Every structure is written in structure tokens, then in C-alpha cells.
């Protein structure tokens, strides 16, 4: 296998350990801002989210994004909820669902009820 040319340097993704008992200090917030500006993403460690919850969230996300476009557009730009952004509006590769405050649960539940045509207890 080839070696990396000496002129190239190894760059590491910014990592933030939030499992520490102390809140973010100003220098950590500056580092987070810099990571967002320069990278657009970062790695968070010790966040306390269980693997079971992660797997459930991933499964629910997959089931939601795999729905037919006609179902997702029920909460799209032309609906009163406007919580779905189709991939062709933002980018050919990007689509999203969003929730609105101040009551995020009600916002998400309303969208789920419309998309699935019934209340979905999994989205709570």
C-alpha cells in the first residue's frame, strides 16, 4: 500500500468530550465555533446516549426517509406544517424534517400523524 507524501499532514476531526462534569468554558465554545466554521461537523464523545437509543433513532429515521415522496410532501413546503424539505429544494442529495419550538414534541407528533396517517407512538 502507498504511503502518504511527506508534504501532506494528518488532520484530525475536532473532538469534544462532553462527559466531563464541568460545562463548556469560553475556550471550548470558541473551539466548537471554529470546528463548525472550518469543518462543518465534529465528533462528540461521552455524550451518554445509549447504543439502544441510537439504533432506535436510526431505524425510525430510515423508516421516515424511506417513505414515498407523496407521503412526505403532506408535510412539505405547500402544507400548513412545512416540516419537510424535499431533496430537490435544498440539493439533489439532501432532504430534512424539522421540528419547531417552543413545543418540539407537539411539532414532531403533528408531522408524524400526517405522514403516517395516524398517531405513531414510536415518535415520542
Q: Where are the domains of the chain?
A: 15-45, 56-116
109 burial level (CB within 10 Å; 0-12, 13-18, 19+): middle
pLDDT for 109: 84
Strands (DSSP E) along 9-104, which ranges? 15-17, 43-45, 84-85, 96-97
**Residue 52 predicted with pLDDT over 90:** yes
* Rounded-to-integer distance, Cα 44 and Cα 28, Å: 13
The closest alpha carbon to 119, from 111, 97, 96, 105, belongs to: 111
pLDDT at residue 3 greater than cutoff 70:
no
Q: What are phi and psi of 91, to 5 degrees?
A: -175, 155
d(CA 69, CA 46): 36
Q: What is the pTM of this model?
A: 0.60
Amino acid at each position: 500500500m502507498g504511503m502518504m507524501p511527506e508534504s501532506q499532514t494528518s488532520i484530525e476531526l475536532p473532538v469534544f468530550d462532553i462527559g466531563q462534569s464541568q460545562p463548556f468554558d469560553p475556550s471550548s465554545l470558541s473551539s466548537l465555533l471554529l470546528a463548525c466554521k472550518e469543518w462543518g461537523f465534529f465528533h462528540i464523545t461521552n455524550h451518554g446516549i445509549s447504543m439502544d437509543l441510537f439504533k432506535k433513532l436510526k431505524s425510525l429515521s430510515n423508516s421516515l426517509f424511506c417513505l414515498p415522496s407523496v407521503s412526505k410532501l403532506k408535510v412539505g413546503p405547500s402544507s400548513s406544517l412545512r416540516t419537510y424539505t424535499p431533496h430537490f429544494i435544498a440539493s439533489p442529495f439532501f432532504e430534512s424534517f424539522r421540528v419547531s419550538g417552543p413545543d418540539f414534541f407537539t411539532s414532531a407528533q403533528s408531522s408524524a400523524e400526517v405522514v403516517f396517517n395516524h398517531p405513531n407512538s414510536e415518535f415520542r
